[in-house]
Structure 1
């Protein structure tokens, strides 16, 4: 089912989503990769959570954008393809708990610990196709701010305004269901069936 959602995402909206839903997202999104996740954890451990520039209940995008300065001195996103989300698996459950984020956008899915955190705190995982970095950038209407620029262009936190960002496929819902697991199970069944009954 196709849905259009607007940030901030509401808990009831999150809980209505099911794996396989197609979503187009509008509103505020924050990029965050490995180093940003590590810094969030560091700030959490040192009781400096108020210095984390990401709003509670936000949507994170696993992305290291290519940014070009424009004539007004701001930034223009040239390419915004997803980063492989499993790179952030070790830190994502803590980030979800700390920021109570409502959505994560990435590619490739995430592990059991993240799936459990999504279910516990009411968050979902959206998959965006890899290889479409320029098309994703077209849906970014503005750069609202950049934080932690000392981490470098790809690792900084970019606060973006997006419009009809997608198509996003709901890969993991807030009830513990995973499209990736369903596909793996179906593939395993087919392989086993073909080996036990070659005709």
Structure 2
């Protein structure tokens, strides 16, 4: 089943441009380069299975922070961050070592955010990054509001952290690791897992596995 081979498959797809020994990441020609914030056109151009390299500002947040954001929206109050055109990475980092911008920064399982993502997409959020497939309500919201879901592999948490050049808490500091962080990223590697056209990389992977 795809769930058993998901991490190794994604790791190989995302990091096959990695130079051995040095750990230096080289952007291959078939990787799509994205710069935040994203536009509707950016999102519409992406298809499930595309390999991407993200540069710019993204935000990290998990379920506790998502709950607070949605509560503010429901009350008609201003959000502590501007989510329009933005990407939220489902991640709560470990403490940073001296000289590092952030600690281990692997993705959180995405279904925990499924109850909140449709509302955020409705209010301008363009992308999310996590692991595991999204539910049907999120899929429909991505189709309606032009959103995209990227997947990163938890097995590459150390490599992911190297792509994060700066990290600072910008909201909900009381949540600790789950506080919202503003991340400046460079060559952050992902795969388009589910696109705004209904394409699903996980289903594609299952079909490829069955044919192999």
**TM-score (normalised: structure 1):** 0.84
Structure-2 residue corresponding to 1:8:
37
Find out whether 1:162 has 2:185 as its counterpart: yes
The count of residues paired between Structure 1 and Structure 2 equals: 183
Work out whether 1:141 is the aligned partner of 2:170. no
Q: Deviations over 1:102-142 (max 9, x none)?
A: 11111112111111111111110101011221111100011
What SS is found at the alignment partner of 2:101? Answer: strand
Q: What is the RMSD of the two structures over their aligned residues, measured on CA atoms?
A: 2.1
C-alpha distance in 2 between matches for 1:20 and 1:7: 20
C-alpha distance in 2 between matches for 1:184 and 1:93:
26
Q: Could you tell me how far 1:91 is from its partner in structure 2?
A: 1.6
Instruction: Output the CA distance in 2 between the equivalents of 1:103 and 1:90.
Output: 15
Higher-Rg structure is 1
Distance 2:135 2:167 in 1: 30
- CA displacement 1:28-52 (0-9 Å, x = unmatched): 110011001100111011111x133
Report the Cα offset of residue 55 of structure 1.
3.2
Given the alignment, which residue of 89, 92, 104 partners 1:64? 92
Q: Is the 8 A contact 1:30 1:54 kept in 2?
A: no
Question: What 5-or-longer segments of structure 1 have no aligned partner?
Answer: 191-199
TM-score (norm 2): 0.79
Question: Hey, what does 2:119 align to over in structure 1?
Answer: 94
Secondary structure of the residue aligned to 2:52 is strand
Moved more, 1-10 or 30-39: 1-10
* Distance of aligned partners of 1:27 and 1:123 in 2 relative to their CA distance in 1, 3 Å threshold: same
**Which stretch of the first structure deviates more once superposed, 176-185 or 39-48?**
176-185
Q: Distance in 1 between matches of 2:62 and 2:187?
A: 22
Query: Counterpart in 1 of 2:21?
Result: none
Counterpart contact for 2:93–2:104, Cα < 8 Å: yes
Query: Counterparts of 2:181 and 2:58 in 1: how far apart (Å)?
Result: 8
